[in-house]
Amino acid sequence: MGSASDSEEEVDAKTILAIRTSAKRRHTRQANHLKALIDGGGTADDVNVALAVLEEAYSEVAKLDEQRKLEDIRQQSQREQEDLTLQIEYQRQLEGLKSPGKSSFKPRFTSSINDSDDEKRPREPWPKISITPFNGDSRTWPDFELSFGALINNTRMPEDMKLLALRENLEPDVRRRVANLFVASANYQTSWKALTDRYGNRQAM
């Protein structure tokens, strides 16, 4: 069952299509009218007026076409962003499944009383690691580097997904300051090293 937002997008798409179709038809009518004036020996004033109206109609069609292209790009970018986010979450879940659990190895040495007590003692759950987005304060970089490294950097996640995760785990202000590290041609290892050099070295000093 589709959501309300899906229905709204479908209605908007139909509305935009209707507007574009109407604008193109208007442009065609004006072009035919201008041609008829020229072929029929219309006055110069009539031709100039028709030409001005035609140019206005053309500008409207061109503007609507540009809006459509921009909307297509926005929707494609949104879909890619959603796909990458899902892949990152999937990779995190896979990495979580690989966390070491209780060992099945049992040595055959004679057990002492203390060993027996240790085996009966409840096991503490593994501590959960979460990433706090980096806020640009070099004093917090070591903690960010540790948690991001454990969940993202040191995993077998694809490089493009690591780059997206790195960008999403920076506070908006930091993201704007280092926007050049996340351009279309960006490389994850280069971006990660640049951030480490910028904030890790500053913290060390």
pTM of the model: 0.39
pLDDT of residue 47 exceeding 60:
yes
Choose among 105, 109, 91, 108: nearest CA to 165: 91
Cross-strand bridge partners of residue 134:
170
Per domain, the residue ranges of the chain are 4-87, 138-204
How do residues 86-111 score in pLDDT, each as one tens digit?
778 777 777 665 544 444 444 444 44
CB atoms within 10 A of CB 131: 17
How do residues 51-73 score in pLDDT, each as one tens digit?
888 888 888 888 888 878 887 78
Alpha-carbon distance of 101 to 86, in angstroms, equals 26
